[in-house]
Amino acid sequence: MRMRVATLTASALVLLTSSVMPASAQIRADVVIGQNGERIFLDPRTGEVLTVQPPSEVRRLPPEPQFEPFQREEDIRDIIRAERQAERQRQQELRAAMQRERERTAERLREQRAALPEQVPVIPDPQMGTTLPDAVASTDDANTATGAVQSPGSISEPALQAPKSTKPSLAPGKMTVAKAQILLDRVGASPGVIDGVKGQNVLYAMDSWRRLTGELVDFTDESAIEKALQARGGDAFVDYTITSEDVSGPYVAAIPSDYGEKAAMPAMRYTSAREAIAERFHMDEDFLESLNPDADFGRQGEVIRVASTGTPKSGKVTRIVADKSREQVVAYDSSGRLVASYPSTIGSADTPSPSGTVKVERIAINPNYTYNPEKNFKQGDNDEILTIPPGPNGPVGTVWIALSKPSYGIHGTPEPSKIGKTSSHGCVRLTNWDAKELAKMVSPGTTVEFKE
């Protein structure tokens, strides 16, 4: 028998136990390995073969795992491709849902108009783009930068009041959408302004609703919406009595578009009680007026209907995702749980927003705005640095959340009805109330990821 002798050291000597020989006959033995892997135990004094252990009884270690880095990279690529495909599918489904809703709305309008008597003129639905008539013109002094304060004593006597408005009441479908918007707002799935229009902002907010609550609600069924509202705070609309503070402001006659003229004003205040009340209750101005067609918003004691949006969200946000394709800002806590979502305007083709990940550096409430044409954009003929005073109608609204990339931030807006519908100068724009809510939940160091 051909054998190779194992190198014998003190550690190579084994003590045969009862598994090989009886305990009473324990001796020391040399070990050699046969050509087939068997272990042969020899008497070290005589060279006599004591026993042979077959190869099958020899414990063998499992082979070392063979890592395949290229295969793992390919797996990661597959995961990324699958995620992108899922996102494309979701976008397609949302676009299809929006198209179906537009078609249903158009069909309802055709049915409503067909049911009207021929002698009654058809009034265009504001939802289809018709602008409602403006309110009675302001009596503010146009030559005064801050405008004249309308005090309770300046209210006209009843005999001098303007005739009652003949504006159309809201269509039933628009009220259903408005109730859905209020329900979404209450749970932190902000739809932006409450205006009764079911557009992209509302559809994305509905998606956030499912992620926040885990519930499915038919947002086309008013009874289902009413049931969900009662479970989360009660009726969608409540009565509100206009106060002396609402009437007195102070307000300004108008906000100029030119930045040089803005910088000369003492503050970027609201222009009317109607604008201030609409923003306080997260409502579009025209929608507020349509809901209260005969109301005098400059009269102390006037009772109007407003949206009941509930209390602002609270918690600690540690991560923000600014999704450029959805025009939505999504906030998460440290466990990765969705806290809130907001419709947004994120950059433009001319002034794109940042890419990658940045951090929150500081938070300012009711900030000034510094216009620097060399660092940012050029507005009109203004080629010098200007400081525009604070206020809700300033370029950045009432909140500035500065980011670690210079000159960029998350901020409010003087035009809440345009969120998600127009471009910005590279920053992330929210409604003033959404920006204020988010500002209270973030802190310096919170990450902000820009997602294409």
List active site positions.
411, 427
First to last CA, the chain: 73
* Encoded amino acid at 193, one letter: V
Query: How many DSSP H helices and E strands does the chain contain?
Result: 9, 18
Task: Give me the DSSP letters along 365-386.
Answer: ES--EEE-TTTS---TT--S-E
Q: Tokens at residue 359, please?
A: 């951090």
Q: How far is CA 158 from the centre of its chain?
A: 47
Distance in angstroms (rounded) separating the CA atoms of residues 380 and 42: 102
For CA atoms 263, 265, 267, 272, give the dihedral sign: negative
Q: Tokens at residue 449, please?
A: 């990821």
Length of the chain: 452
Pairing of strands 328-332, 356-365: unpaired
* Encoded amino acid at 376, one letter: N
CB 283 within 8 A of CB 306: yes
Give the ranges where 232-307 is alpha helix by DSSP (H).
244-248, 259-263, 273-280, 285-291
Which residue in the block uniquely carries the two structure tokens 């600690």? 316
Distance in angstroms (rounded) separating the CA atoms of residues 201 and 196: 12
Q: In a 3-state reduction of DSSP, which class is residue 438?
A: helix
